[in-house]
Amino acid sequence: MPYQAFDSLAAVAFAKQRGLIAADADVSCREIGDGNLNLVFHLQTADSSFIVKQALPYARCVGESWPLSLERARIEAEVLKAHGKVAPEWVVKVLDFDLEQYAMVEEDLSHLELLRKRLINAEKVDNMGQNLADYLADSLYAYSDFELDPKQKKALVSQFINPDLCLITEDLFFTDPYREHERNDIFPASRQSAEALWQDDELLARVAELKVHFLSCPQSLLHGDVHSGSVFSGPGELKVIDAEFGFFGPIGFDVGSVIGNLLLAWCRHHTLGNEAYAAWLVEQCLVFWQRFESRFSALLKGSKDVALVNARYQRRFVAKVLQDTLGYAGTELIRRTLGLAHVADITSLDDELRAKAEQQALSLGKALVLASDEATSIGLLSELLKKAPVS
């Protein structure tokens, strides 16, 4: 059957036709998608439930004027399966994928909550930093040159070429927020600071470096969008979803996306004066990096490529990942403040607090981008945070 964007009835018919539900079963189905790109249906029968996620041929948040390749659905299913193979505890299970309808069936995680919501509510999520670090260390090591056979790596790089979604990141992270652009969404109180950033040549130069590194450094198979809205968590469980931005890119991009999003939550809570919770978020950033660094470094020691089993080289590699991480975390703070896609951590504040939180995000983002290429330890982050204005 040719591709057709589902409504609830079509999503149920699809699940029955794929044999996930008995043809005569009673099914309730709701469209629950609140993301930027896709349709998401929750299907429930008397004894099972799951999610059907279907790509639309355009970006849902903008409409048909922003066409997008349906191929991203295949990429998403394959990244989740690839990461699930090496880090099964942390990745949503893909139960089925159909290349005609560009629709994927996933396990239902509605017993969990989105991490962003929990961070907004100032919950101290158990083992958050450690779990995210384990997910990224295991999956990013497994698809790196340290582990993969060189021919297999090249085949995988080609399997995960993802031009449309990479272009979104290239534009929304590294281009639009640094100039006047119709896709930007600038809160009036932040306009003056935005215009000052646009004049900062040193900042623009470092952002250009980070962009080129994103464009041309296929170090490993990234998730590509590990923000706190791509993570579900609950007691003793954490699951990563939404890998449609996956491709082979620089490891620090995924690691930096996690830190950037914890820092967006920090901007919220620091502005609200929730200092104990803000301090917990900083501690989680440090725990996250330290755990990632030690687990990833331990894995590097078992590298299958003997030329890369050199302790001095491996230390340099990890040191560069840290610099990239801090730089990309900084670009996440800036693009979530000036660009197209904002986050509820900041936008749900009232106007006066939002203006203050955005100032925090912009000045911390700028400081991270500028200092990142000389960072030698994660301690730099704590230093920069100490300089943040008191709310």
Interaction site with ligand SR1 (CB under 6 A)? 36-37, 59, 61, 168-169, 172, 225, 227, 340-341
Query: What is the closest distance, in whole angstroms, from the C-beta atom of residue 254 to Mg ion in the complex?
Result: 14
Stretch that binds Mg ion, among 18-26, 106-114, 235-243, 351-359 (CB under 5 A): 235-243
Residue 23-52 contact track with Mg ion, rule CB under 5 A, x = bound: ------------x-----------------
Please say which residue, 153 or 223, places its beta carbon nearer to ligand SR1. 223
Q: Which of 242, 254, 345, 358 binds Mg ion (CB under 5 A)?
A: 242
Please say which residue, 172 or 364, places its beta carbon nearer to ligand SR1. 172
Q: Which 345-364 positions form the footprint of Mg ion (CB under 5 A)?
A: none
Query: What is the closest distance, in whole angstroms, from the C-beta atom of residue 271 to Mg ion in the complex?
Result: 25
Beta bridge pairs of residue 239 = 232
Stretch that binds Mg ion, among 44-52, 130-138, 236-244, 381-389 (CB under 5 A): 236-244
Query: What is the closest distance, in whole angstroms, from the C-beta atom of residue 374 to ligand SR1 in the complex?
Result: 28
Query: What is the closest distance, in whole angstroms, from the C-beta atom of residue 389 to ligand SR1 in the complex?
Result: 27
Query: What is the closest distance, in whole angstroms, from the C-beta atom of residue 36 to ligand SR1 in the complex?
Result: 4
Q: Rule CB under 5 A: is residue 147 a binding residue for Mg ion? A: no
Please say which residue, 38 or 314, places its beta carbon nearer to Mg ion. 38
Please say which residue, 102 or 289, places its beta carbon nearer to Mg ion. 102
Please say which residue, 279 or 341, places its beta carbon nearer to ligand SR1. 341
Query: What is the closest distance, in whole angstroms, from the C-beta atom of residue 35 to Mg ion in the complex?
Result: 5
Please say which residue, 33 or 234, places its beta carbon nearer to Mg ion. 33
Binding site for Mg ion (CB under 5 A): 35, 242
